[in-house]
Structure 1
Amino acid sequence: MKRVIWIVLDSVGIGAMPDAKQYGDEKANTFSHVYTYNKALNLKHLKELGWGNIDGIEVLGKEACPKGAFARLGELSKGKDTTTGHWEMIGIYTEVPFPTYPNGFPKEIMEAFEKQIGTKTLGNCTASGTAIIEELGEEHVKTGYPIVYTSADSVFQIAAHEDIIPLKRLYEICEIARRLLKGKHEVARVIARPFKGEVGSFTRTANRRDFAICPPKPNLLTYCEEKGVPVMAVGKIEDIFNGQGITEAIHTKSNLEGVEVTLESMKKYKEGLIFTNLVDFDMKWGHRNDAEAYGKGLEEFDAKVPELMEQMTDEDILIITADHGCDPTTSGTDHTREYVPLLIYGKGVEAGCNLGTRKSFADIGQTVCEIFNLPALKIGESFLKIILKK
């Protein structure tokens, strides 16, 4: 058995897909726009791996002799959210997008939810997570009513001050919502959004928790579980897949902590899959239209890449990719329908191998299946034989 270190840079898209206009995202290009906004970034190590050589990337510059293999991945599934993107990576095609609620959740849902939690709610609208607590935080503190809101994504989000509704209770009411939202109202995720602070200076805490629906079987993670391939989940990976096929999980509070936990996991797990999501790009910077911080985050990750490479064994394979876009330079605050980057590095990987533009995120999962001698997924094409040194 070999080892794969798979890191998802949450929301680092690299340009609008051909169907982006259907999503209102035809002008989106998260990476290039962040790079240009910051008047260039120091991404030396990602550049050396081949990031600038990926199809469609016109900033950063091409590397004469890239150290890794690289590609641009299109999304086969319908949607542009975290769940859809990650699910496709492990071999699940989402033909019908998860339901969204641009005008808030229907009356019958909210009445049933309030009855089951024993209290009224505030909000029930589409909003930015930071804006909604500024708008309704004071009323929430006075009444004790949780704040319910959504976005362009398929999410039912519940915000509450940790001193008003303790975390344990917040998670309990999220579980109630998760059980309630079934059938045509089965949203991809119910999300606990705790915050702290005083009126006028509320800030969200790192105690967010996602309650996702369980992915359909079979998929890469269920195959890993069946065949005894350990899966170490870092960041919100466990939440995205509702714990399915996960051997051990560690939730993290920042990108840098996520990388550090990944490095520690590499010391502990000498074989299997280490699956990491770095969510700050999306949660802290993309949705908040903070292109400057987004750029700094990319530089911070780039600076950690050598540590990841140095800790790899001769048989390890490092995969760096993303799950969708979230262009912080656009007027909106939602995800964007974009291609995502793919970098593959390892001692046995053919340096400079250009895999071009591929049709599905599931090509990664199919390749991982081949690495671990698992059954083939229903979608995706493995690129393993192409990237291995002859």
Structure 2
Amino acid sequence: MVDRVIWIVLDSVGMGEMYDADKYGDIGCNTIGNVSKVLGGLKLPNLEKLGLGNIDNIKGVNKAESPLGCYARLAEASNGKDTTTGHWEMAGVVSKQPFPTYPNGFPREIVEAFEGAIGRKMIGNKPASGTAILDELGEEHMKTGNPIVYTSADSVFQIAVHEDIIPLEELYKMCEIARKILKDEHAVARVIARPFIGQPGNFSRTANRRDFSLTPPHDTLLDVLKNNKLHVMAVGKIEDIFCGKGITEAIHTKDNMDGIDQTLNYMKQNKKGLIFTNLVDFDMKWGHRNDPEAYGKGLEAFDSRLPEILEGMRDSDLLMITADHGCDPTTPGTDHTREYVPFIAYGKTLKSNTNLGTRNSFADIGQTIAEVFSLEKIKNGESFLKEILK
């Protein structure tokens, strides 16, 4: 009997191009495989023991003779390759209409509405790397007080301000204003607060990032759990991704290690339900910045903490580890990549060495969790619970 699920999303840790990667310009992408090539191999002994290297068509990870876990490759049924789409799909929302993107910047009506509402001009208004845009416009922002607004190949409206020039509370208010303006045809997936500190030539982003997502279009697994009096404990940016919907308690984190610490803290509490964790450094710090060496070291650092999670599990716990999309740091661009993602499940109540093959949707995870707790089915996905339970 399972009474708690610990669900960890390694943000952007994809495992190879999907069948339709050509539509997204992502032929040849393989986050894990290409990172492993750069490092001359990855040292992930604990993930390998659970079965990471046994997933069909995964590259760069060693196979285990008798892996302890159940494992699969997941395809994304939604159109898109961003954080919101991936997480929503895991919880039961399949998005057929991709969120809008702005390769030429935001249109005049959005710019004028935003500037009028905040009482300041904005600078930037183009796709850019988050660190490069600070080097380009950070000094001008400090002189004028005008916020830097930029986007990427993803559906995002990002606002960067220096914490000494515009207080965090005002930045978050700007984001709330932008979120209200960006609706209908301009309903971007996320408005993101990107505060930074430092001086020209030496700017750095802080841990005070906040994501202001759209509200999911219908109830998700999280709502079903909460409506049935189960706890939904969100770690990292999970609360932001779901706009707080279906969450019973949440904690934001500074980095991956803090995310693991907070997950372990929740595990020490005796609460039935779901601990849902996002570890964002893979994506934010290493994937988007094209830093495969740091990405690989980050994977190894997570692997080194995995024994603490396994030792903290109760006999009635079920651990799930997966990802929401790719962000291959070895490709020329700095954006997300359309990839399959790995999936591992482990617990005392589960079979070992069970290959679930390639699943058709991330939503299979959410449907399985709904069945774990004997709840009504969510809108999408096929449960694989019967295939993994002893």
Same fold (TM over 0.5): yes
RMSD: 0.7
Distance 1:180 1:267 in 2: 42
Superposed CA deviations along residues 146-204 of structure 1, whole A, max 9, x for unmatched, are 00000000000000000001100000011000011111001010000000001110111
CA distance in 1, matches of 2:126, 2:270: 44
Q: Is the 8 A contact 2:15 2:59 kept in 1?
A: no
Alpha-carbon distance in 1 for matches of 2:32, 2:16: 8
What displacement does 1:280 show?
0.1
CA distance in 1, matches of 2:356, 2:385: 11
Counterpart residue type for residue 115 of structure 1: G
Count of paired positions: 389
Q: Secondary structure in 2 aligned to 1:238? A: helix
1:208-247 maps to which residues of 2 (within 5 A)?
A: 208-247=209-248
Counterparts of 1:361-376 in structure 2, within 5 Å, are 361-376=362-377
Secondary structure of the corresponding residue to residue 268 of structure 2: helix
- Aligned amino acid, residue 176 of structure 1: I
SS at match of 1:382: coil
Partner residue of 2:180?
179
1:220-247 Cα distance to aligned partner (Å, 9 max, x none) = 0111121111000000000000000111
Partner of 1:92: 93
Partner of 1:112: 113
Report the Cα distance in structure 2 between the residues aligned to 1:218 and 1:125, rounded to whole angstroms: 34
Q: Please report how far the alpha carbon of residue 61 of structure 1 lies from its aligned counterpart in structure 2 after TM superposition.
A: 2.0
**Secondary structure class of the residue paired with 1:294:** helix
Task: Check if 1:341 corresponds to 2:359.
Answer: no
In 2 relative to 1, CA 269–333 (structure 1 residues): closer, same or farther, beyond 3 Å? farther
Instruction: Give how far 1:270 is off.
Output: 3.3
* Aligned 1:182-331 pairs, distance under 5 A: 182-331=183-332
Is 1:332 aligned to residue 333 of structure 2? yes
C-alpha distance in 1, partners of 2:271/2:41? 37
TM-score when normalising by structure 2: 0.99
User: Counterpart of 1:202 in 2: which secondary structure?
Assistant: strand
Matched residue of 1:314: which SS?
coil
User: Is the Cα–Cα contact under 8 Å of residues 220 and 246 in structure 2 kept in the other structure?
Assistant: no
**What percent of counterpart residues are identical?**
66
Partners in 2 of 1:312 and 1:204 — Cα distance?
34
Deviating above 4 A after TM superposition, structure 1's stretches of 4 or more consecutive aligned residues are: none
Deviations 1:38-76 (A, max 9, x none): 111210000000000001113222110001000000000
Q: What is the CA–CA distance in structure 1 between the aligned matches of 2:207 and 2:270, rounded to whole Å?
A: 26
Q: Deviations over 1:333-383 (max 9, x none)?
A: 000000000000000111000000000000000000001111101211101
TM-score (norm 1): 0.99
Partner amino acid, structure 1, of 2:218: K
Counterpart contact for 2:42–2:60, Cα < 8 Å: no
Distance in 1 (CA, whole Å) between partners of 2:270 and 2:126 is 44
Give unmatched runs, 5+ long, in structure 2: none
Residues 63-78 of structure 1: matches in 2 within 5 Å?
63-78=64-79
Partner Cα distance (1:69, 1:35) in 2 = 23
- 1-structure distance, mates of 2:66, 2:322: 20
CA deviation after TM superposition for structure 1 residue 269, in Å: 3.9
Instruction: From the superposition, tell whether residues 190 and 269 of structure 1 become closer, same or farther in structure 2 (CA, over 3 Å).
Output: farther
For 1:9, give the aligned amino acid.
L
On the 8 A contact 2:35/2:293 being kept in 1, the answer is yes
Give me the whole-angstrom Cα distance separating, in 2, the residues matched to 1:104 and 1:6.
36
Letter in 2 for 1:369: A
Letter of the structure 2 residue corresponding to residue 108 of structure 1? E
Question: C-alpha separation between the residues in 1 aligned to 2:133 and 2:19?
Answer: 33
Aligned AA (1:42): K
1:295 match: secondary structure: helix
Match of 1:163 in 2: 164
Q: Find the residue that maps to 2:7 and give its secondary structure.
A: strand
- SS of the residue aligned with 1:268? coil
